[in-house]
């Protein structure tokens, strides 16, 4: 047979029975009772019997309405370009080009790209540092109130909840404050698609919410949802998402979303509750982030380790594959697709790696001064420089160690020595080349 480098790599890896503690949430297993059979047979284009995602209505519209109901939201749109497409769409709806915006410091790089694409001017919302867990805590409502007093013209708040580490913010409280301010709350809930099926109505107060079905639910890569609680119509969701999505969205992917919802309502909720119990037991037995540190997604397993990267490698040597690690943590994504045998295998592997408190894991430094707008910087004629020689210059790109993909340096910001020192401290390769904008960007403010 012809050389098949990627196909061979993937099938061989899958055949080695890795324990997938990473996304996608299906873990390589078909949905029990709801298999997506013959994806080629249902891979269509826009025809009268199949409908058109961006025209609305039809069978796709019915399937989306059922998802909206499951999330206690008014409308839902299927996304086949991940939460990335959803975050860009939500910002497009919530803001006008040139607007200021309150942006959670922990937003994903897609939100930072949205700033540049839409010419938004960010004021960053910092989060408290949870020393004992080495993570950022939730966004406090009183902090939002103070920021809105200082910046009364800002009408959009965009936050991430849950974070990669599983930390939840109080969405209803933040939504109410934005509501009273006449503004909009956008929640990037990429990691929280499973929460409603655990009975946690985490997102429904948000004016716009985005979830990646593929991260925590048994759904294929890139499948995601954009949800509105009534402030924005389904037609508006379709308009915004069509700006960023393919005009040939995948029907097997949308069909998989339909199956996934039915499975979650029938069996997946129970399976997920079982997973939450397994995770609670592992959190008791091993050093991990717990609800005593911060409000947490009950199924995200963030292990604490003084040597996170080594602990990750120790697990990988045992064929257990975490989602990510940093210097102080190893993050695992258990889902409803993980069986009791999988948890037993995980528990045995965890006994053989070094875990323990990470009290000295450093907080990220506050965001550096914004010298010019994200748009000016991202689209400026840039020059490459090794990061460790870039202090004093203006970043024309993000530095967002991935995962979690949260920028430490963002376009338009001054590159400061303390930020480079922080990146070095968390084990980031600062010899890496970064694009820097010219020292004087035209029209910078
Ligand atoms: C918080 C957050 N938002 C958005 C995204 C983008 O999601 P997707 O990969 O579905 O495009 C990610 C991806 O990791 C994320 O962590």
**Chain segment 207-224, per-residue pLDDT in tens:** 999 999 999 999 999 999
Q: What is the mean pLDDT of the chain?
A: 94
Pocket test for ligand 1, best of 25, 81, 83, 333 (most atoms within 8 A of CB): 83
Res. 84: pLDDT tops 90: yes
96 alpha carbon to ligand 1 midpoint, in Å?
Answer: 23
Q: What is the mean pLDDT of residues 297-301?
A: 98
Lowest mean pLDDT among 119-128, 130-139, 155-164, 432-441: 432-441
**Chain segment 400-422, per-residue pLDDT in tens:** 876 666 788 999 999 999 999 99
Q: What confidence category does residue 361 fall into, taking pLDDT thresholds of 50, 70 and 90?
A: confident
333 alpha carbon to ligand 1 midpoint, in Å?
Answer: 14
65 alpha carbon to ligand 1 midpoint, in Å?
Answer: 23
Res. 440: pLDDT tops 70: no
What is the pLDDT, as a whole number, of residue 445? 44
CA gap 331, 215 in Å, rounded: 13
Q: What is the mean pLDDT of residues 389-397?
A: 94
**Chain segment 251-298, per-residue pLDDT in tens:** 999 999 999 999 999 999 999 999 999 999 999 999 999 999 999 999
Task: For the chain, give every domain's residue range.
Answer: 58-261, 374-437
The closest-lying atom of ligand 1 relative to the alpha carbon of residue 224 is 10
What is the pLDDT, as a whole number, of residue 428? 85
Q: Confirm or reject: Cβ of 83 under 6 Å from ligand 1.
A: yes
84 alpha carbon to ligand 1 midpoint, in Å?
Answer: 6
Is residue 301 within 8 Å of 279, Cβ to Cβ? Answer: yes
Q: What confidence category does residue 429 fall into, taking pLDDT thresholds of 50, 70 and 90?
A: confident
Most confident option among 30-44, 326-340, 395-409: 326-340
The fold of 374-437 is: Ornithine Decarboxylase; Chain A, domain 4 (3.90.100)
What is the pLDDT, as a whole number, of residue 162? 98
In this predicted model, which residue has the larger pLDDT, 203 or 365? 203
Q: Confirm or reject: Cβ of 224 under 6 Å from ligand 1.
A: yes
Q: What confidence category does residue 226 fall into, taking pLDDT thresholds of 50, 70 and 90?
A: very high
Handedness of CA 400, 401, 403, 406 (dihedral sign): negative
What is the pLDDT, as a whole number, of residue 125? 94
What is the pLDDT, as a whole number, of residue 363? 85
Res. 441: pLDDT tops 70: no
- Tell me whether strands 129-130 and 121-125 are parallel, antiparallel or unpaired: unpaired
Is residue 411 within 8 Å of 395, Cβ to Cβ? Answer: yes
111 alpha carbon to ligand 1 midpoint, in Å?
Answer: 10
Q: What confidence category does residue 173 fall into, taking pLDDT thresholds of 50, 70 and 90?
A: very high
What is the pLDDT, as a whole number, of residue 444? 47
What is the pLDDT, as a whole number, of residue 405? 65
Provide the edge-to-edge strand list for the sheet that holds 324-326. Answer: 301-304, 329-332, 324-326
Res. 359: pLDDT tops 70: no
What is the pLDDT, as a whole number, of residue 425? 86
Res. 344: pLDDT tops 80: yes
Res. 365: pLDDT tops 90: no
What is the pLDDT, as a whole number, of residue 1? 75
The closest-lying atom of ligand 1 relative to the alpha carbon of residue 84 is 11
Q: Count CB-CB contacts under 10 A for residue 14.
A: 11
What is the pLDDT, as a whole number, of residue 101? 98
Q: What is the mean pLDDT of residues 47-70?
A: 98
CA gap 150, 355 in Å, rounded: 43
Q: What angle do CA 75, 77, 80 make, to 5 degrees?
A: 165
Cis previous bond, 32, omega within 30: no
363 alpha carbon to ligand 1 midpoint, in Å?
Answer: 22
Following CA atoms 224, 229, 235, 241 in sequence, which dihedral angle do they give, to the nearest 10 degrees? Answer: -30
**Chain segment 99-120, per-residue pLDDT in tens:** 999 999 889 989 999 999 999 9
Res. 137: pLDDT tops 50: yes
Pocket test for ligand 1, best of 195, 212, 406, 407 (most atoms within 8 A of CB): 212
The closest-lying atom of ligand 1 relative to the alpha carbon of residue 81 is 11
The fold of 58-261 is: 3.40.640
Res. 398: pLDDT tops 90: no
Is residue 390 within 8 Å of 435, Cβ to Cβ? Answer: no
Res. 44: pLDDT tops 70: yes
């Amino acid at each position: 047979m012809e050389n098949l480098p990627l196909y061979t790599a993937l099938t061989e890896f899958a055949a080695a029975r890795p324990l997938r503690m990473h996304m996608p949430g299906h873990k390589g297993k078909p949905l029990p009772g709801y298999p997506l059979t013959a994806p080629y047979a249902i891979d269509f284009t826009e025809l009268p019997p199949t409908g058109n995602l961006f025209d609305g209505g039809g069978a796709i519209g019915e399937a989306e309405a059922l998802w909206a109901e499951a999330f206690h939201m008014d409308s839902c749109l299927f996304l086949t370009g991940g939460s990335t497409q959803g975050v860009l769409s939500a910002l497009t709806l919530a803001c006008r080009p040139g607007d200021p915006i309150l942006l959670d410091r922990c937003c994903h790089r897609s939100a930072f790209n949205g700033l540049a694409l839409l010419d938004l001017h960010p004021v960053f919302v910092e989060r408290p540092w949870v020393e004992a867990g080495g993570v950022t805590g939730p966004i406090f409502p009183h902090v939002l109130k103070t920021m809105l007093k200082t910046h009364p013209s800002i009408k959009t708040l965009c936050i991430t909840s849950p974070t990669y580490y599983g930390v939840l913010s109080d969405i209803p409280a933040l939504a109410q404050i934005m509501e009273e301010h006449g503004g909009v709350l956008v929640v990037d809930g990429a990691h929280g698609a499973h929460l409603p099926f655990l009975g946690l109505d985490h997102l429904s107060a948000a004016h716009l919410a985005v979830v990646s079905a593929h991260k925590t639910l048994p759904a294929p890569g890139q499948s995601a949802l954009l949800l509105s609680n009534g402030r924005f119509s389904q037609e508006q969701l379709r308009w915004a998402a069509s700006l960023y999505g393919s005009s040939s969205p995948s029907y097997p992917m949308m069909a998989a979303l339909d199956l996934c919802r039915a499975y979650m309502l029938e069996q997946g909720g129970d399976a997920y509750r079982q997973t939450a119990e397994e995770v609670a037991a592992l959190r008791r037995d091993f050093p991990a982030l717990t609800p005593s540190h911060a409000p947490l997604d009950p199924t995200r397993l963030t292990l604490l380790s003084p040597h996170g990267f080594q602990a990750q490698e120790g697990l990988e040597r045992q064929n257990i594959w975490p989602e990510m690690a940093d210097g102080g943590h190893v993050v695992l994504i258990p889902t409803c697709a993980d069986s009791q045998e999988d948890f037993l295998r995980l528990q045995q592997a965890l006994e053989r790696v070094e875990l323990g408190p990470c009290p000295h894991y450093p907080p990220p430094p506050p965001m550096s001064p914004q010298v010019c707008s994200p748009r000016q910087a991202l689209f400026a004629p840039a020059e490459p420089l090794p990061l460790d020689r870039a202090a004093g210059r203006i970043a024309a790109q993000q530095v967002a160690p991935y995962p979690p993909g949260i920028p430490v340096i963002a376009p338009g910001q001054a590159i400061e020595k303390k930020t480079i020192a922080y990146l070095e401290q968390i084990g980031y390769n600062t010899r890496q080349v970064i694009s820097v904008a010219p020292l004087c960007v035209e029209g910078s403010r």
